[in-house]
Amino acid sequence: MSCELISGKEISKKVHSKTSAQVAELGEKHSLTPSLAVVLIGEDPASKVYVNAKVKKCQELGIESKKIILDKAATQAEVLALIKELNADKSINGILVQSPPPSQINEEEIIETILPIKDVDCFHAQNVGKMLLGDTDGFFPCTPYGIMTLLKESGVDASGKHAVILGRSNIVGKPMMSLLMQKQDGANATVTVCHSRTPNIAQFAKQADILIAAIGKPEFVTADMVKDGAVVIDVGINRVDDATRKNGYRLVGDVAFEEVSKVASKITPVPGGVGPMTIAMLLQNTVKACKLQAGIQ
What pLDDT score was predicted for residue 250? 87
Contact call for residues 63 and 33 (beta carbons, < 8 A): yes
What type of residue sits at position 236? G
When pLDDT is averaged across residues 238-261 and rounded to a whole number, the result is 89
From the list 95, 135, 90, 138, the residue with the least C-alpha distance to 115 is 95
CB 166 within 8 A of CB 207: no
Domains and CATH numbers, the chain: 31-116 (3.40.50.10860), 142-275 (3.40.50.720)
Dist. CA 234–CA 267, nearest whole Å:
8
pLDDT digits 0-9 by tens, 117-150: 999 999 999 999 999 999 988 899 999 999 999 9
Exposed, middle or buried, 5 (CB in 10 Å: 0-12/13-18/19+)?
middle
Region for 100 from its dihedrals, namely left if φ exceeds 0, alpha if ψ lies in -120 to 50, beta otherwise: beta
Q: Is the pLDDT of residue 215 over 80?
A: yes
Q: Could you tell me whether strands 238-241 and 249-252 are parallel, antiparallel, or unpaired per DSSP bridges?
A: antiparallel
Q: Which positions are catalytic? A: 54, 98, 121
Q: Is the pTM above the cut of 0.75?
A: yes
Mean pLDDT of 242-267: 92
pLDDT, tens digit (0-9, with 9 covering 90-100), for 162-213: 999 999 999 999 999 999 999 999 999 999 999 999 999 999 999 999 999 9
Give the chain's count of helices (H) and strands (E). 10, 11
> What confidence tens digit (pLDDT) does each residue in 160-174 have?
999 999 999 999 999
Task: Please give the Cα distance from 141 to 274 (Å, whole number).
Answer: 13
Q: Identify the sign of the CA torsion 259, 260, 265, 268.
A: negative
